[in-house]
Homo-oligomer: A and B are copies of this chain.
Amino acid sequence: MQGRLPTLSDVARRAGVSYATVDRVVNDRGGVADKSVKRVREAIDELGYVRNVAAANLSQSRTYRFAAIIPTGTNQFFQQLRAILEAERIRLLADRINLRIEGIAAFDGEALCERLDMLARTGIDGVALVGTDDDIVARKIAELRAAGIAVLTLVSDAPNAPRDAYIGIDNRVAGQTAGRLIGLCHGGSGGRVLPIVGALSAPDHAERLEGMRETVTALYPDLAIAPVIIGRDEHEIVESKLRPIFENSHDITAVYSVGGGNAGLLRVLRALPADQNRPIVVLHDIVPQSREALENGVIDAIIDQRPEVEIANALNCLRSIADRRPPDVADPILPAVYFKENLPPPQGRETDAHPADAPSSDGARPASKSRVLKEIDQ
C-alpha cells in the first residue's frame, strides 16, 4: 500500500531503455553495451530499486533446496542440533524452503565428500556442514562453490576451505569466558583448575582450553592449572581418570570440561563425600544431561553455543546467498553463560504444535493470542 516501491519497469523508464535490457543487466544475461549497463545501474541507485524477492521466487516457482549434514552417533549435542533442524524444516515449508537433513558418520571426510557429491547431483542451492580439517573436504567445498552452491560451515569451521561463511562461536572466546567465570568464583582465594578435553587434536577443544588458560594465568595468578585430562569424550575414560584424582588430592577447586563425555564427570562429582568441598564446575553445551546437572546443583555453569541461533543464522545466510543478496551475516554468535536461574526451557518450543488454525469467525487472527502469551510468559 501507500508509496509503492520502484519496479524494474520504473528502472527501465528512468534509464531510458526497455524492460528487456534492464532484465539482461540485472540477471547477467550479457549482450548489453557498456553504456547501457551503466545507465541501468545508475537508475537502480537513483531509484533505490530493491528486487522483489517474493515476486522473483514466485515467477520461478522457486523452492529453495538446502541441506544440512550433521554427524550421527550418540553425541547429545548433535542429536539436539538435528532435532532443532527438524523442527525448523516444517516451519520452513511455508516459505518454500526445502531442507534436507542428512546424517553422516562423524569425522569421516570421504563419506562427507560422497554425500556432498550426491547432493550436488540431486540439485541443491546450499548446504551447511560441520567443518573438519581435511584436504579432500576443502577441495570438495571449492568444487561445490564453483558450481554455484552455497556452502556454510556450522559449529566447527573448515580451516582452508573457501566456504561462504562460518557460523559458530569463537571457541577461544568461549574458553576465556570460562576462565573469567572460574576466576571470579574463587572470590580472591587461590585454587587449582582441572581441565578436561576430548582430544587436543580437535581444534575447538584446543582453542577452548587455550582461551581458559590465557585468562586464568593473566588475571588470576593465585590459580594453578592442573595437568589436562584427555578423555576422548568417552564417559568411562573420563571417569576412570578422574576418580583417583579426586580421591588422592583434595585441592581441586574448579573443573572445566570443554567437550563431551560428561556423564563420567558427573558420576564422580555426585559421588564426592559430603564433607569434601565441591569444586566449581563449568562445562559446555546444554544437553539433557548437563541441564539436569545444573538444575540439581551438581555443576555451576554451562557455556552454550546456542545451536538455535546458529541454525537460524545459517538458514538466513543460505537464503541471502541464494537470493543473490548481500549475505546477511547476523550478529556474531557469542557463547552464552547459563546458570540454573536463566537456563532456557527444555525443548525451545513445539510443546503443543499449534492446533487451531482458524476455527473462529473473527476474521482477524484466530487463537493466536493465548498461545503466544503462554509461550512467552513461560
Contacts and interface: CB of A to CB of B under 8 A. Distances in A.
Interface of A: 1-6, 10, 28, 41, 44-55, 57-58, 61-63, 65, 91, 93-96, 98, 123, 145, 148, 150, 162-167, 170, 173-174, 176-177, 179-181, 184-189, 211, 215, 280, 300-301, 308, 312, 317, 321, 324-332, 334-342, 344-345, 348-349, 353-354, 356-358, 360-361, 363-378
Contacts of A356: 162-163
Given A96-B54, A148-B364, A123 B1 contact: yes
A332 B28 CA distance: 43
A331 B348 contact: yes
From A1, A46, A61, name the one whose CB has the most chain B CB atoms within 10 angstroms: A1
Nearest to A185: B184
A144 to B, nearest CB: 11
A44 B356 CA distance: 14
Contacts of A2: 63, 65, 123, 378
B63 A28 contact: no
B3 A179 contact: no
B321 A368 contact: yes
Contact of A167 (B331, B364, B376): B376
B375 A5 contact: yes
A345 B170 CA distance: 12
A351 to B, nearest CB: 8
Contact of A368 (B301, B325, B331): B325
B47 A374 contact: yes
A354 B150 CA distance: 14
Contact of A369 (B58, B164, B338): B164
Given A5-B376, A54-B95, A162-B356, 9 more contacts: A4-B375, A41-B369, A94-B325, A145-B358, A173-B341, A324-B358, A329-B353, A329-B376, A334-B336
A345 B368 contact: no
A292 to B, nearest CB: 17
B344 A332 contact: yes
Contacts of A93: 5, 50
A4 B41 CA distance: 35
Nearest to A372: B165
